[in-house]
Amino acid sequence: MTQKNGPEKTKKPAETREERLKSALKANMGRRKAQARARKAQEAQKD
């Protein structure tokens, strides 16, 4: 029996690294924005 796999993803290591860095940066920015919103909401409650 032969298995028919879809087209194999043969990406260069630099490309996969770039994608990993991009997704990590996006997640980090999301966390930082959430923290900033939480701090702002906390300050608004104090007033």
Tell me what the pLDDT averaged over the chain comes to: 87
Residue 26 — very low, low, confident or very high, per pLDDT cuts 50/70/90? very high
Whether the predicted pLDDT of 9 surpasses 90: no
Q: How far apart are alpha carbons 32 and 39 in whole angstroms?
A: 11
Whether the predicted pLDDT of 3 surpasses 70: no
Average pLDDT over residues 25-38: 98
Average pLDDT over residues 35-46: 93
Q: How far apart are alpha carbons 4 and 9 in whole angstroms?
A: 14
What do you get for the CA distance between the two ends of the chain, in Å? Answer: 72
SS3 (DSSP) at 18: helix
Whether the predicted pLDDT of 6 surpasses 90: no
Q: Which residues contact 11 (CB under 8 A, 6 or more apart)?
A: 19
The percent of residues above 90 in pLDDT, for the chain, comes to 57
